[in-house]
């Protein structure tokens, strides 16, 4: 069969055979892929989990409080933002 690129099945088989030989030779030479193995982090103690959860909860409460304050300020202002048609008055 002839493909639109002009290659035939024989051409593709030849390239694949060459690729297979190249890969096997690489394995025989003992080439290892670059990279390193990282150790899995140790399990956290219950106290550490509780401490981290408290920190997350405190930050979340601050965020909620700030959001409420912004909503309160927005409700008091007649201008909703810089894209309001009369925000520059």
What's the pLDDT tens digit per position in 43-65? 999 999 999 999 999 999 999 99
26 lies in the same domain as 47 = no
Q: Find all residues with CB under 8 Å of 80, minimum gap 6, and list them.
A: 74, 87
Q: Is the pLDDT of residue 16 over 60?
A: yes
**Looking at the DSSP assignment, which residues form a beta bridge with residue 8?**
2
36: left (phi over 0), alpha (psi -120 to 50) or beta: beta
pLDDT band at 24 (very low <50, low <70, confident <90, very high): confident
CA–CA distance, 31 with 29 (Å, rounded to integer): 6
**Do 79 and 87 form a contact (C-beta atoms < 8 A)?**
yes
- Number of domains observed in the structure of the chain: 2
The range of the structural domain enclosing residue 73 comes to 43-79
Is 85 within the bounds of a domain? no
Q: Is the pLDDT of residue 66 over 80?
A: yes
Average pLDDT of every residue of the chain: 80
CA–CA distance, 66 with 56 (Å, rounded to integer): 15
Single pTM value for the model? 0.42
Is 58 within the bounds of a domain? yes
Q: Is the pLDDT of residue 85 over 70?
A: no
């Amino acid at each position: 069969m002839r493909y639109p690129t002009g290659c035939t099945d024989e051409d593709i088989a030849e390239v694949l055979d060459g690729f297979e030989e190249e890969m096997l030779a690489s394995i025989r030479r003992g080439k290892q892929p670059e990279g390193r193995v990282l150790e899995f982090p140790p399990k956290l103690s219950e106290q550490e989990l509780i401490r981290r959860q408290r920190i997350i909860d405190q930050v979340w409460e601050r965020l909620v409080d700030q959001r409420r304050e912004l909503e309160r300020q927005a409700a008091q202002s007649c201008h909703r933002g810089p894209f309001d048609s009369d925000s520059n008055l």
